[in-house]
Each structure stands twice: as C-alpha cells, then as structure tokens.
Amino acid sequence: MKNRLPYNSFLSPKMALMMLLCIVLFASCNSARRGAAQQSAGEKVYALTSEGEVIGKIASSGVYVFKGIPYATAERFMAPEAAPKRQEALDCTNYGPVPPQVIYERTQSEVNWYNVDEGTKDEDCLNLNIWTRDIRPGTKKPVLVYLFTGYTIGHSHELAGYDGEYLANNHNLVVITPNHRLNSFGFLDLSFMGQKYQHSANAGLLDLVAALRWIKANIAHFGGDPENITLMGQGTGGGKVMTLLSMPQTEGLIHKAIIESGALFKVMDSKYSRRLASIALNELGITAENIAVLDTISHSALHEATNVALERVRAMAFEDGTSNAFVEDDNLIDYFGWAPSLDGVVLTEQPYIAAPRRASNIPILIGTNKHEATPSLYKMDYASMDERGRDSLVITRLGSLYSKAEEQYRISYPRTSYSPSELFDLDIKFRRMALNFAERRYEEGISTPIYMYLFGYESPTEDGVFRSHHMLEIPFAMGNTTLASSMTGGTKSALALSEKMSAAWAAFCHTGSPQSPAVPQWPAWTPGSGATMLLGRGQDGVCELVYGHDKALLELLSRANGALGN
C-alpha cells in the first residue's frame, strides 16, 4: 500500500488560501441558513431535528417560529412511535392539524369572547409549535411547554391567547405548544380486547410523554436548555400537568410546573372506562371477530356511538354512587368521560395521590381565578335574573350565614366593590383544590417551594359577564392581552397586568421562583403563611401579596353546603 502524501506536498499556498476562504464562506452561509445570523421578517430559517431538517419563518419581532413539527406518529388507538426520518427539509411555517374534537354549542357571548379558530382537524395530529429568539444550541434558554385545556374539546393552539411569540421575544424563553389525541381517539379503553390495545385507555397521555421526550432530545437545536423545561397547563391542561407529574415515564423530562385552575384531578376507574368502550363497540356492531373494522370507522360514527355509551355509563355511575362528570368530592374533580383512566399499565396510581410525592423536587406555581365558571352566566335560572334578583337570592339562601359571609368577604377583599351576588359568583371549588394540592405537598414533607396566586382581573368585554373567568389568565401570563382583546378588552390596565404576570411566569421558568422586579415580594406558600399573590382587582392591574386572606371565607362558604351553587 502506498503512503499518502502530506497535503502540503500537492497544495500550493495560493490553493490552500482559496480553499480556506471557501470553507469560511460555506460555514457563514450555513450559519445564516440555520438562523444564527441576523435575518429579516418573513425569511425562512432552518433547524435540525432527530428526523431531519425543518423550515420555520421569522416573525416581525425577530422570533423564529416553527409550526406543525411532527414529534411522533401513531396508528389509531395505539401508543405513539418515533416520527419517520426525512431526507428533505420539512416546511413548518403553518400550523399542523389539530386533533378531532367534540365541539359543544357555545352561547353567542362565548363565540365572541373566545374568538376560537378550531384549525384543521385530523387524526394525524402529533405535532408541536415552537417560538424561539435564537436557535444556536449554546444559548440554553429555559423551555416552556404549554398544554391546552380539554381532554375532549381542546381549544386549538391557534387560539390567540396561546401564541408564544411575546414570551420568546421579551423574556428569552423557548415556548412550545404540542397537540395530542383527544376524546375517544386518545382515551378509548379497549384493553379488554387483547394485548394489542393495552395502551389505548391513555394513548393521549402517552402522546404527551412522547412530546416531552422529543423536546428533551431536540430542543437544543432551537436554542433551548433540555435541563430546564417547565410544563404549564390550564384547566384540564393543568390536570394533564399534574397527571404527567405523577407518572414515572416523565422522570427527568419536567423540571418545573405551572398549574392554572387545574389541580387535583381524579381519573376514571377502569371499570367505567371499559364499560364505555364495550357499549360503544356494541353500538357499532363490532366484536372481537371483526375488531379490525374499528380502524376504518369514521369520526362521526365513532363520536355518535361513544356519546350513547357515555350517557349510559354516566347513569350507571350515578346508580353506583360515583360522580357524574365534574362533581366535587373531597376537594377533587372526578373527571368522568373521555379522559385518562387508572388502567394499571400507563397509570397505576391516582394522580392526586402520586403527583405531590413524585414531583417532590419540582418547584410549582399554582393558582386559580376568582370567579372561574360563574353561575350567573351559565345556570340559566340564575342568568335570567338581574343583579338585584341574584342579591336577594344570595341573602335568602345563606340565611343566618349571610351577615358573617359579607363580613368575611369585606375582610378578604377590602379594596374591592361588594354586592351580595359577588358571593354567588365567587369560585370556591378550584381555589380549595389548589390549596388542597399545596397542603398535600407539605403533608409529604416536601420542602421544594410552591407558589400560590389568585387571578382577580375582570374582563370588561361582553358587558362584563365573564368576570375573572376560567381561561382569562392565559393571555395575561403569555403576554397576549392585545392579541386576545376579545377576552381581555385590550385595555391599558390589562396590558399593565400582563406585563407583570408574564415577567413573573418567565422568572419562574428561568429560576424556579416567580419573583420579578415587576411584582411585589413573592415568598413561597406554606400552610402557616398562606402567601398568595393577588393578580388584579376588578379592572385594575394591581398586584398585591396577601397571607391566608380568604381562609375564613372559604370555610364559611363550604359550610353553606353548596347553597349558592358555586
């Protein structure tokens, strides 16, 4: 074998210089292509993933936006698998499909308020969206993964309040919103039909585990720190956060957690989830012999059959003394329907029991809204009354407890206007669950901090009927009060509060504490102190730290045994 000649034996100095210049130019061009160099709004930007290159777009703010990146793939009712490798760069400049959803009939006020774009629905929906200011791997920015509300309905990530551009641009975060399978596609418990379907009861949860694994493996290519991932969710999205915290499959994938109006969810017992699936199959004429037909059943046919099943099993659950849908039980929400179940495979413990223990080393920011689901808006016999009528109703129903309730309310909220109907709309269920979760952490002897908030800003839109409604805090925390002005009103006070809240949420993602120059001193909550940050009063943007401010009020209203229906 001949000896190879050294390079300098056949490269002249001139040729060597030319080659060096070419290498530098190539590296420079490739760097620009990857987004490391300054580029203009609307230009394409490229990033690497485990499956191949993806193409994003630069927003006017300079934030790199990637939409619809596949993180996994799955056959119907099966556990997710790795997305296939690609030879060519994938265009990710538009939102990908969202999961098929069960859309309930909204009032006109809700339609106007949410201004929802439901997106394009498809079962092939395992994709996520990323907003980042800088995709160089060495930048190691904190990562915020936001989970939308709903196991059934979902509210597409195209809802303006979920947009991640503000937090990425102003607070140096990498923001991610993943989609996952919902309703019967994600939670139809077919485990009694054989080993093939052992994961079907919680396939939608496994989608989120797959998304977190993908993020851990790939987020450095988008400038994120795989060792600093905050999982955040609102409503049932908060329930998803708590459920994922309870699962050993997510160990090392979550480093901080934000739970908004979604603590202490109790998943279904498998006897009910299997009954649901069994009745649905019977409605469709499907047996063990022709089970393969289930893979081709249309969404509408499956939805119709599962609706029949759901109503029948709810009736059975009532007869058994089990809660029917959202019914409070020992400060829990017992979720009944198309949602996770205790299948013994994916979920082996109730999340409200396991999460406080398993998340012992994870800082948590938790809170609720002052009014959540207001009876005066949703309960028609109350909604038809004027405020004077509701005031009279409250006084009558509370009876001898009323004067004490009024006194305690004025002590709890001394700088807030009062009328008796305020006691009617005041949330006590979600608030008690958040406190209950925090107390369970301390009962486990956990010293990792937990921070508590109560969102009290009231939307002026739709004549103020939504008050501090469930979901209203989302655009404030995400910095999107202008984008979501149909919800927030887009006022100066809304913007001012949003700047404070988004700074606190971002600080939590960075450090594990919501302390920020934008808000007052914010110590961790303890059972003794009850430290809680009040975020907004009526339609002002004031933030105020209080200590156990509503403890006596909650206890008194609890003794009223639901007389007010709140």
304 class by beta-carbon count within 10 Å (0-12 exposed, 13-18 middle, 19+ buried): middle
Q: Does the pLDDT value for residue 18 go beyond 60?
A: no
Average pLDDT over residues 330-358: 82
Number of C-beta neighbours around residue 331 at 10 A: 21
Q: Does the pLDDT value for residue 417 go beyond 70?
A: yes
pLDDT of residue 338: 80
Q: What distance in Å separates the CA atoms of residue 138 and residue 313, rounded to the nearest whole number?
A: 53
433's tokens: 């669950």
The per-residue pLDDT of the chain, averaged, comes to 87
Q: Does the pLDDT value for residue 546 go beyond 50?
A: yes
Task: Work out the pLDDT band at 265, boundaries 50, 70, 90.
Answer: confident
Q: Which residue from 261, 242, 200 is spatially nearest to 77, judged by alpha carbons?
A: 200
Q: Does the pLDDT value for residue 383 go beyond 80?
A: no
Task: Annotate 439-496 with DSSP letters as a single string.
Answer: HHHHHTT--S-EEEEEEEE---GGGGTTSSBTTTHHHHHHT-TTTTHHHH---HHHHH
Superfamily for 367-559? Alpha/Beta hydrolase fold, catalytic domain (3.40.50.1820)
DSSP 3-state assignment of 139? helix
> Cα 315 vs. chain centroid, distance in angstroms?
30
Strands 141-147 and 174-178: parallel
Q: Does the pLDDT value for residue 61 go beyond 90?
A: yes
74's tokens: 């799955």
Q: What distance in Å separates the CA atoms of residue 470 and residue 199, rounded to the nearest whole number?
A: 31
Q: What distance in Å separates the CA atoms of residue 199 and residue 188, rounded to the nearest whole number?
A: 9
Q: Does the pLDDT value for residue 54 go beyond 50?
A: yes
Q: Return the higher-pLDDT residue of 314 and 486.
A: 486
User: Going by C-beta distance under 8 Å and a sequence separation of 6 or more, which residues neighbour residue 255?
Assistant: 227, 228, 229, 230, 362
Q: What distance in Å separates the CA atoms of residue 386 and residue 362, rounded to the nearest whole number?
A: 46
> Cα 481 vs. chain centroid, distance in angstroms?
18
Average pLDDT over residues 75-102: 94
Locus of tokens 């609890």: 558
DSSP 3-state assignment of 54? strand
User: Going by C-beta distance under 8 Å and a sequence separation of 6 or more, which residues neighbour residue 539?
Assistant: 457, 458, 460, 489, 491, 493
Task: Work out the pLDDT band at 404, boundaries 50, 70, 90.
Answer: very high
Task: Work out the pLDDT band at 7, boundaries 50, 70, 90.
Answer: very low
In contact, 41 and 60? CB cutoff 8 Å = yes
pLDDT of residue 71: 98
pLDDT of residue 377: 76
In this prediction the pTM is 0.90
Task: Work out the pLDDT band at 16, boundaries 50, 70, 90.
Answer: very low
Locus of tokens 């006017």: 60
Q: What distance in Å separates the CA atoms of residue 435 and residue 441, rounded to the nearest whole number?
A: 10
Phi, psi of 255 (to 5 degrees): -115, -20
According to DSSP, the residues that pair with 226 across neighbouring strands are none
pLDDT of residue 335: 63
Task: Work out the pLDDT band at 310, boundaries 50, 70, 90.
Answer: confident
User: Going by C-beta distance under 8 Å and a sequence separation of 6 or more, which residues neighbour residue 313?
Assistant: 272, 275, 276, 279
**What is the per-residue pLDDT across 91-102, written as a single tens digit (0 to 9) for each?**
999 999 988 887
Q: What distance in Å separates the CA atoms of residue 177 and residue 211, rounded to the nearest whole number?
A: 10
User: Going by C-beta distance under 8 Å and a sequence separation of 6 or more, which residues neighbour residue 252?
Assistant: 216
**What is the per-residue pLDDT across 470-498, written as a single tens digit (0 to 9) for each?**
999 999 999 999 999 999 999 999 999 99
